[in-house]
Amino acid sequence: MLNAMLGLFSQDLAVDLGTSNTRVYLRGTGVVCDEPTVVSVQTDRDGRRRVTAIGSEALPMLGRTPEDIHAIQPIRAGRILDFEVAEAFLLHLVRRAHGRNGWMRPRMVVAVPHHASDMEARAVRDSCESAGAREVHLVPRPIAAAVGASLPVQEPDGTLIVDVGGGSTEISLLALSGVVLSRVVPGGGEGMDAAIIQWLQRERRLLVGRPSAERLKIALGTASHPDPSATSVVKGRCLERGIPRSETVSAADIASALAPHVEAIAVGIRNAISEAPPELGSDVVDQGVVLTGGGSLLRDLDLGLRDLTGLPVIRAEDPEQAVAHGVGGILEDTLLQHAVALAS
Ligand SMILES: Nc1ncnc2c1ncn2[C@@H]1O[C@H](COP(=O)(O)OP(=O)(O)OP(=O)(O)O)[C@@H](O)[C@H]1O
Ligand SMILES: [Mg+2]
């Protein structure tokens, strides 16, 4: 009875638990939180941990914290790495989403990678329950991405969706609301940042932090023809002399650092097509590949992948929000919920 009453008033949530960013969609409203998935934690002498900042307040602490404080990213490619911290993070977002109605226990629809093991899915479910969910429904992340990109997931035609996230790139062939096959290319956008860090160490003997590498990627990065006049100055530590130093890098430099990542995604797409049932593979050849995820905002990634695969490639509108809009759409639409549940 009490549960039924709470059900009546509760404000259901859909969650895209990302490596870099987590988005929360409130039923009837839309995306109400979009926060970096970062928590800073202080550990006292007895090993007890205390949360000191969450989300955008904790983000600047990545790589800059004193010894007893750690900025933690509790999720990687849909998997929970630190249960306690993930739970604190989710609890904070649920409270934020509900504002003054914080006493209500929501139903939650959460996107998980297609490859999540039973144990990994269990960990997501447990974290949501500990954060106050009274009921948790897990849906495959590629289906959510496709719903968010307004693709006809319930049709028998094959759809190839490539979600370039922070932690990985998930390449999935979908049909009839189900995942026919899925391949993961490790790295994602954060792997691209790491490639820029390695490139600067190797080619310029300069050590830079992750935020600087990400800034270079966004300012100069491209998957196709780099602008010959685009350059940027980056500060770091000279690996030879140990002192601060600046370097000018060009768009061509960053493109060469990122090229192996773009090629790995293209190989993943080609492999997915070659392993697909022939009918579905030919649907993709006709209709093309759709890119979602923040990493797909890399300049000309659509053009670069088209050149490397020979397939039509398009970037979804608002690709960073696709999974959140998709889980939200599934939360709002009971019929779609049944179709996704039956197919998974
Ligand atoms: N304009 C841009 N150019 C290139 N990369 C970008 C751009 N904007 C954002 N990104 C990258 O997108 C990535 C984050 O994407 P997104 O928010 O989709 O990841 P996520 O959902 O948290 O991760 P995952 O799905 O792997 O768990 C970051 O690596 C970020 O640097
Ligand atoms: Mg994501």
pLDDT digits (tens, 9 = 90+) for 142-156: 999 999 999 999 999
Residue 277 has a pLDDT of 93
Q: Whose CA is nearest to atom 15 of ligand 1?
A: 294
Mean pLDDT for 23-47 is 94
Number of other residues whose CB lies within 10 A of the CB of residue 242: 9
Q: Which amino acid is at 89?
A: F
Q: Which of 19, 20, 34, 193 to mutate to test the pocket of ligand 1 (most atoms within 8 A of CB)?
A: 20
> Tokens for 290?
């759709």
Residue 319 has a pLDDT of 98
Q: For residue 109, what pLDDT band results from cuts at 50, 70 and 90? A: very high
Is pLDDT of 6 > 50? no
> Do 327 and 111 contact (CB within 8 A), yes or no?
yes
Residue pLDDT, tens place only, 117-150? 999 999 999 999 999 999 999 999 999 999 999 9
> Do 22 and 16 contact (CB within 8 A), yes or no?
yes
Query: How far, in Å, from the CA of 269 to the mean position of ligand 1?
Result: 19
Is pLDDT of 261 > 70? yes
Q: Which of 73, 292, 297 to mutate to test the pocket of ligand 1 (most atoms within 8 A of CB)?
A: 297
CA distance linking residue 62 with residue 74, whole number of Å: 13
Query: How far, in Å, from the CA of 194 to the mean position of ligand 1?
Result: 13
pLDDT > 90: percent of the chain: 81
For the chain, domain boundaries: 2-36+77-144+323-343, 38-72, 150-187+261-321, 190-257
Q: Which CATH architecture fits 150-187+261-321?
A: 2-Layer Sandwich (3.30)
CATH match for 2-36+77-144+323-343 among 3.20.20.370, 3.30.750.200, 3.30.420.40, 3.30.300.30: 3.30.420.40
CA distance linking residue 37 with residue 132, whole number of Å: 19
Q: Which amino acid is at 146?
A: A
Q: For residue 182, what pLDDT band results from cuts at 50, 70 and 90? A: very high
Mean pLDDT for 43-64 is 89
Query: How far, in Å, from the CA of 186 to the mean position of ligand 1?
Result: 13
Secondary structure E strands in the chain: 13-17, 21-26, 30-36, 39-43, 49-54, 69-72, 75-76, 79-80, 107-112, 135-140, 159-164, 168-175, 178-186, 206-207, 231-238, 244-250, 289-292, 313-315
CB neighbour list of residue 132: distance below 8 Å, 6 or more residues apart: 91, 94, 105, 106
Residue pLDDT, tens place only, 315-329? 999 999 999 999 999
Higher pLDDT, residue 4 or 280:
280
| CATH superfamily entry for domain 190-257 | ATPase, substrate binding domain, subdomain 4 (3.90.640.10)
CA distance linking residue 43 with residue 101, whole number of Å: 32
Residue 107 has a pLDDT of 93
SS3 332: helix
Mean pLDDT for 323-338 is 90
Is pLDDT of 10 > 80? no
Query: How far, in Å, from the CA of 324 to the mean position of ligand 2?
Result: 9
**Would you give the distance in Å from CA 282 to the centre of its chain?**
28
Residues in contact with ligand 1 (CB, 6 Å cut-off): 18-21, 77-78, 165-168, 188-190, 214, 217-218, 221, 293-295, 297-298, 320
Is 150-187+261-321 the same fold as 2-36+77-144+323-343?
yes
CA distance linking residue 106 with residue 185, whole number of Å: 34
- Out of 112-116, 191-195, 213-217, 288-292, least confident range: 112-116
Its pTM stands at 0.94
> Tokens for 158?
């094959």
Residue pLDDT, tens place only, 154-177? 999 999 999 999 999 999 999 999
pLDDT > 70: percent of the chain: 95
SS3 217: helix
Higher pLDDT, residue 291 or 98:
291
Mean pLDDT for 66-85 is 90
